[in-house]
Amino acid sequence: MAGQRDVLKIPYNALLSGPTSGMPWGPNDQHPRAVSQKYWEVVCPGSERRVVNADEVMKQVDRESDGIKMLTDWAKLMRDMPERCVEIQGTQVFDFYLIGSTRILSLWETFKNHPTVRLLEDSEVVKNGVRENMSKLQKINGAQRPYIPKTTGTIEGLLGIHIRRGDYRGDLGKDNGHCFGLGRWGATYSGWSQLPEMHDKYDSPSREGVEGGQYTPEIKEYYLKHCLPTPRQVIARIREIQRESHTHLSHIFVANNAEDEYLADLRQELVADGWEADNIVTSKDLRLNWQATS
């Protein structure tokens, strides 16, 4: 149903490669690897596990504490446990209240240098999907073969944008989409998007005198421009990026779950703004095998 949020269960290693999906943590590192739930049930049967109630722990840790303190307290708790197998049940350890606040920023230095991030790669399914579609995503001269330089990981001349509609839009003509909910509750930028060095800043109109769960027309307009932009607003944002980056862009990829009518309007606006029609690629234009599609 439109406006309803559905969650797919997809194995990590269908999307990612690296320690998160069971690869080693690095040369000569003997830390246990990530395993599937099926294997976990074999090596750590219920009779050998210590079950930790996260809700109870969070009362001791303080749910409102800084991210790095929360991590340190949890790490000490785990290190002090003699059991070989520990299962955490209950609430999220790092929940959306933390991720949606600046308290998470104290974790940045630890996070960016961690092997989970340093050794993160795309899965073979993803890499094959990109290779199969490279000719659509970059300019090819003569016998030149499409490629992504390993040193930069960037596709030259390509602008990628993500337009999420679906649950963000909700039912046509109604204000029941997720984007409207973000505006009603004054959600800010989240996670690392709050880092001070990031270019874009959260700058919503004042909510003074506005009750939770409500918004003024000005607040609504601000949020819709950010998370449910019209094709013309997308074009205006692309122009800003082109002016600021001073980079020659020849192709554009639109990752999206948008309805056909919206994509047709966006494509028309892009062509009118000077983009070559054949160089505009959306998620629906990709050539994908059954693994990548599923």
Distance in angstroms (rounded) separating the CA atoms of residues 146 and 134: 6
If you compute the radius of gyration of the chain from its CA atoms, what whole number of angstroms results? 23
Quick one: which of 189, 192, 188, 187 has its CA closest to 104?
A: 192
pLDDT of residue 290: 87
Report the SS3 class of residue 252.
strand
> At 147, is the pLDDT very low, low, confident or very high (cuts 50, 70, 90)?
low
Quick one: which of 294, 245, 235 has its CA closest to 269?
A: 235
pLDDT of residue 78: 92
Region 35-48 average pLDDT:
94
Q: Considering the chain, tell me which residue range(s) the CATH 3.40.50 domain(s) occupy.
A: 121-293
pLDDT of residue 150: 64
- pLDDT digit string, tens, across residues 178-233: 999 999 999 999 999 999 999 999 999 999 999 989 999 999 999 999 999 999 99
Instruction: Kindly report the average pLDDT of the chain as a whole number.
Output: 90
Judged against a pLDDT cut of 60, whether residue 143 lies above it is answered with no
CATH of domain 121-293: 3.40.50
Q: Would you call 263 exposed, middle or buried from its count of C-beta atoms within 10 A (0-12, 13-18, 19+)? A: buried
> At 60, is the pLDDT very low, low, confident or very high (cuts 50, 70, 90)?
confident
Alpha helices in the chain (DSSP H): 12-15, 37-43, 54-61, 67-79, 96-99, 108-112, 115-118, 124-137, 178-184, 217-227, 231-245, 260-272, 290-293
> At 245, is the pLDDT very low, low, confident or very high (cuts 50, 70, 90)?
confident
Judged against a pLDDT cut of 80, whether residue 15 lies above it is answered with yes
